[in-house]
Structure 1
Amino acid sequence: MQLRPPRHRVHRRAIWYWTASAAPLWLVLVAAQVVALVVGWGWLRHWWVVTLPVTVLLAAAHLIVMPQWRYRVHRWEVTPEAVYTQSGWFNQERRIAPVSRIQTVDTDRGPFEQIFRLTNVTVTTASAAGPLRIHGLDRDDALRVVDQLTADTQAERGDAT
């Protein structure tokens, strides 16, 4: 096994999910600045007149760049020997877990992910580094991954420790 870039990208809907997940924080920040601008006194009003456009530009840049960047970085691959993951955007992580070390395989879908029809797969191993997570898979792809990992771990004679 070799630590290498995984082959598969997450589903393209993950771009919209990441955008929608980041937007509420920016909306709250912009709304707070608008309120401060409206009710501001004296010199504080001038402060908010300057910071509000800067915040809006930063929000727009973040909401445009971050999801695209994450989509280009996030990858996954499952082989009969190992699970490969690559994730992040600013801080990036690449991990590999041998099938013989897999203890559990889980899926989860929060309410927001259900809206975007996305599923996450979590592969728990005997590693102190924690589980491997594949975020942003289409539901059918996630079920195929779980089925393949279940079959591969049952065929493996190791003890997952």
Structure 2
Amino acid sequence: MSDDAVEPAIRRVGADDGAGDDTPPVADLTGPERKLHPDVRYVWALGALVSALVVGVVAAVAGFLLLDNPVVPGVGVFALFLVVGLVLVVFRYRVWRYEVREDSLFLERGVFTRVRTVVPYVRIQHVDVSRGPLERGLGLASVVVYTAGSRGADVTIPGVALDRADDLQARLKQLAIVAEGEDAV
């Protein structure tokens, strides 16, 4: 699926459309399956680099203490962890996808273990858009969806373009409002 697919526009609550109903139709808020922005790979690659550096330094210290030669173990372990980390970045990006469906938010991710998460809109408590320093530099954001639940009751969609993240936050908010109204007795 192309990252450039056209999303339906959000009709703002309270917009004068002559219908008298302030709630946008669910079909206007849903959209096609989406992949993450390609630049998220840079964020993940930097994480792999930092992890490889930390493990490489630990291996160098161990090499110095045990072998009197910190260079070979340090560089070898660093290179191994960096290569594995970068390969995982490629596979992680290929698998990650999300979809705003009529009744739920669907996420699929995972390299070794595929995880499919379905978040019914009625369970959504609130939605945040967060941006770390590297994400800000790349024009990306993470959308964090907090749900009603007891264990790990939130899901994060990383690597979303900032304008799309703001749009997704507004969509999920509206869909949660619609779902809450439908669920009310």
Q: Normalising TM by the smaller chain, what interval? A: 0.7 to 0.9
Query: Structure 1 segments of 4 or more deviating over 4 A?
Result: 31-37
Bigger mean CA deviation after superposition, 132-141 or 9-18: 132-141
- Identify the residue that residue 142 of structure 2 maps to in structure 1: 120
- Give me the whole-angstrom Cα distance separating, in 2, the residues matched to 1:56 and 1:124: 36
Opposite residue 25 of structure 1, the aligned amino acid is: S
Task: Give the SS at the match of 2:68.
Answer: helix
- Identify the residue that residue 117 of structure 2 maps to in structure 1: 95
RMSD: 2.6
Task: Give the SS at the match of 1:89.
Answer: coil
Shift of 1:158: 4.3
- Identify the residue that residue 50 of structure 2 maps to in structure 1: 24
Percent identical across equivalent pairs?
Answer: 30
Contact 2:60-2:71 at 8 Å conserved across structures: no
**Unmatched 5+ stretches in structure 1:** 1-5
Is the counterpart of residue 8 in structure 1 residue 34 in structure 2? yes
Q: Say if 1:126 and 1:29 are closer, same or farther in 2 by CA, change over 3 A.
A: closer
Opposite residue 43 of structure 2, the aligned amino acid is: Y
- Identify the residue that residue 19 of structure 2 maps to in structure 1: none
- Identify the residue that residue 110 of structure 1 maps to in structure 2: 132
**Unmatched 5+ stretches in structure 2:** 1-31
Task: Give the SS at the match of 1:19.
Answer: helix
Shift of 1:81: 1.4
Opposite residue 68 of structure 1, the aligned amino acid is: V
Structure with more contact order per residue of length (Cα contacts < 8 Å, sep ≥ 6) = 1
TM-score by length of 1: 0.78
TM-score by length of 2: 0.69
Instruction: Tell me how many residue pairs correspond in the alignment.
Output: 151
- Identify the residue that residue 70 of structure 1 maps to in structure 2: 92
Bigger mean CA deviation after superposition, 88-97 or 144-153: 88-97
Shift of 1:77: 0.9
